[in-house]
Structure 1
C-alpha cells in the first residue's frame, strides 16, 4: 500500500510541476518578446539637401529606414508574458509641405499583409479579429498642419506632434502621435507609435484560453518619403 501511495504522490507532484514549471519554462526558454517596431535610424544619415516644401510620396525606403507599419500588443501565451510586433512593408501614402508646414498627409496599410512569426496568430488576425476581406486597409489622415521649420538639417532627427484620424476596421477615431522625423539628403523619414484601445475600433482582442491579448496596444509606422 505504501508503494502505491508513493507512486500516486509522485504522479501528483509531476502534474503540479507541469502546471507550474511548464509555463515558466515556456516563457523563459521558448517564448520571447519580438524586436520593437521599426523607428527612425540616423545611421548613415546625411545633411539635408534642398527645401522641405513640395509633394512627397511614400516608397520602400533604404536600409535601415525601410517603410513598415503594423501593431504592437502584449499577450499571455501558454502562461508566458510576450510582446508581439506585427508589421508589413505594404504601405502607401503621400504628404504636402507648404511654407515648411505639413499641410496634408495620408498613410494606408494593407491589413492582410501584416505578419508576425506565427502563421496561426496571423490567420486569426486577418480573419476573426480584423475582417481583412471586408476592411482591407487601415489609414491615417492628417487633420491639422504640422510645423517642420524646426527640424534639424544636419542628419539628426527631431520630433513633432501630429493630430489626425485613424481608421481601423471601418471605425474612424481622432488620434495624436509624437512623430520622429529625419531629413537626410533629399529624403524624409518619419516614425511613431499611436496608442489605441482596440474596442474603440470595433476590434475584440482574442481571449482563447491559451492566449489572452491586452485591450490596448499601439499602431506603429516608419515611412520613408521621396519627392513626387
Structure 2
C-alpha cells in the first residue's frame, strides 16, 4: 500500500509539474517574440531620380528597408496576449507601371523560410499550419489597377489602396490592402498589412491547451523594387 501511495503521489507531482512548468517554459523560452512587422522607413530618403513607368522587380533592398514578408499573430498564454511576428527575406515579385498606373503586380513568398525566434514554433507553422511541403508559396496578385499619381516624388511617404488575390495554403481569397509607398532615388518601397481570419484560407491555428493562437492575424510585407 505504501508503494502504491508513493506511486500515486509521484504521478500527481509530475502532473502538477507539467501543468505549471510547461506553460512557464513556453512563456519563457518560446512565446517572447514581439518585434513589430516591418514598415517603410523614410530616414535617409531622397527625391526620386527616375520615372514610375516601366517594369519593376522585387530586390533584397537595403537597411532600413530590406525586403521581407510574413505574418503577425497573437498567442494567448493563460490569458496573456503575446504578439508573434514571423518573416522571411525569401520574397520575389514583379510589377508593371504604365505612366502612373500600376497595372500588374505579383509577390511570392517562400513559406517554409518564414521564421520567428524559436524553431519549435516555426516547425508548427511550417508543417502543421501551412503544410509547406504541399503548398510551398504564398502569393499576392493585383487584380485592379492602382493610380500612383498621389505618391510624392520628393522622398516622402504616400499611401494607396490595392485590390488583389491572396493565396495561402492553396486557397485564393480576394483582399483589399492599404499600402504605404516611398519613391526614393531609383527604387520604390512598399509595405502593408492584410488582416486575415485564418479559417477563410483553410488554416487551423494551433492550440496546445495552455497556449492558443488567435483565429485572426495579418499577412505583412515590405518590398523594395528596382527597374528591370
Query: Are positions 1:91 and 2:65 aligned together?
Result: no
How many residues are paired up? 213
Q: CA deviation at 1:32?
A: 3.8
Identify the residue that residue 127 of structure 2 maps to in structure 1.
Answer: 127
Q: CA deviation at 1:198?
A: 0.3
TM-score between both structures, scaled by the size of structure 1: 0.87
Identify the residue that residue 10 of structure 1 maps to in structure 2.
Answer: none
2:181–2:189 Cα contact (<8 Å) kept: yes
Query: Are positions 1:221 and 2:212 aligned together?
Result: no
Identify the residue that residue 145 of structure 2 maps to in structure 1.
Answer: 145
Q: Deviations over 1:133-182 (max 9, x none)?
A: 00000000000000001111111110000000000000000000000000
Query: Are positions 1:195 and 2:222 aligned together?
Result: no
Q: CA deviation at 1:80?
A: 3.5
Identify the residue that residue 55 of structure 2 maps to in structure 1.
Answer: 55
Matches within 5 A, 1:171-182: 171-182=171-182
Matches within 5 A, 1:148-159: 148-159=148-159
Q: Secondary structure at the match of 1:134?
A: coil
Identify the residue that residue 210 of structure 2 maps to in structure 1.
Answer: 210
CA distance in 1, matches of 2:119, 2:208: 16
Identify the residue that residue 118 of structure 1 maps to in structure 2.
Answer: 118
Q: Secondary structure at the match of 1:128?
A: helix
CA distance in 2, matches of 1:118, 1:28: 11
2:23–2:210 Cα contact (<8 Å) kept: no
Q: Deviations over 1:39-78 (max 9, x none)?
A: 1000111101121110000000010000000000001136
TM-score between both structures, scaled by the size of structure 2: 0.87
CA distance in 1, matches of 2:164, 2:177: 8
Matches within 5 A, 1:23-38: 32-38=32-38
User: RMSD across aligned C-alpha pairs, in angstroms?
Assistant: 2.5
Q: CA deviation at 1:79?
A: 5.3
CA distance in 2, matches of 1:176, 1:26: 35
CA distance in 1, matches of 2:130, 2:77: 20
User: Segments of 4+ in structure 1 off by > 3 A?
Assistant: 22-33, 77-80
CA distance in 2, matches of 1:101, 1:148: 6
Compared CA separation, residues 25 and 88, structure 1 to 2 (3 A) = closer
Identify the residue that residue 5 of structure 1 maps to in structure 2.
Answer: none
